[in-house]
Amino acid sequence: MLLAGLLLLLPLKTANAAPSSVTYLPNQHGKSLTTPVAWGASGNVVFMGIGGSIPDPYTSKSDGAAVFGAGFGDPKKNIGVQASVTCLDISDWKRYSASAQLFRELGNANAIAAGIENVMLSNGGDADHSLYVVYSQSIQAQPFIDSETGVSKLHYSIGAGTGRFGNKSEADINSGKGKHGTYVFANVAYAVADEFNLISDWNGLNLNAGVAKTFKIGKVPIVATVGAADLTNNSGDRVRMIVAVGTGFNIN
């Protein structure tokens, strides 16, 4: 789930605004830990990332996953298309799933998207096939504008989905934590002095919090995310650490 927060790897391009208006675009850091955002990869962008949970819920073992994907189209003029393949367990590299998202920028630094996650491509794997819709917005009002960089410091998304956004695991059910979550998810990210984003998200099952920072090695952007997951007793058996790192680049 943490890899969901890696899909917005590159800053958005400057929007075509009317001469009398100014649009403050999202900043360059990650916006979410475990939930989708409506800003996706587009314009022939390739991205990849790796992430993990330390430990996995109800076990003493850690778990890791890796994602590779690409984004096409122009979400300002029509539709952006983002597609990816995920290895669900990097310890054996045998279990794979596919995900895709269609998204549209609505102007004024907001966007809407619909997607599908974890369509299994191989046998095994515990990922939950999920559908979702999500709306994302960068706040355009003071005091949430960085005057030096000209981007918004405050971002949020809200959406609803099936599968992992509301279906609890068998271990949760056996622990008396119910069968279903909210099926509604949300995330909020706030930039601290343009150095990194503080992030919190509710993924339909539990609350998570962490930080995300994008930096560059040469011209290649690297996004790193560290967080704490399952902060309430609504799911899982303890608070656990989640980490991820990813990159993306334009192939034009």
Query: Which backbone phi and psi does 6 adopt, to 5 degrees?
Result: -95, -5
**Rounded mean pLDDT, 9-15:** 41
The β-bridge partners of 159 are 134, 185
Kind plus residue range of the DSSP H or E element containing 171:
helix 170-174
Interatomic CA distance for residues 133 and 65, integer angstroms: 23
The whole-number pLDDT of residue 3 equals 53
Residue 55 in domain? yes
Query: Which backbone phi and psi does 150 adopt, to 5 degrees?
Result: 75, 25
Residue 194 in domain? yes
Residue 17 in domain? no
Residue 158 in domain? yes
Q: Give the number of domains in the chain.
A: 1
Interatomic CA distance for residues 241 and 28, integer angstroms: 23
Whether 244 and 35 have beta carbons less than 8 Å apart is answered as no
Question: Band of the pLDDT at 124, cuts 50, 70, 90?
Answer: confident
3-state secondary structure of 152: strand
The CATH number that applies at residue 245 is 2.40.160.40
The whole-number pLDDT of residue 1 equals 52
The length of the chain in residues reads 252
Residue-wise pLDDT tens digits, 158-188: 999 999 999 999 999 999 999 999 999 999 9
**Torsion angle defined by CA atoms of residues 173, 239, 51 and 97, in that order, rounded to the nearest 10 degrees:** 10
Residue 16 in domain? no
* Mean pLDDT of the chain, nearest integer: 90
The whole-number pLDDT of residue 5 equals 47
Residue 225 in domain? yes
Token duo for residue 50: 């790796």
pLDDT value at 10 more than 60: no
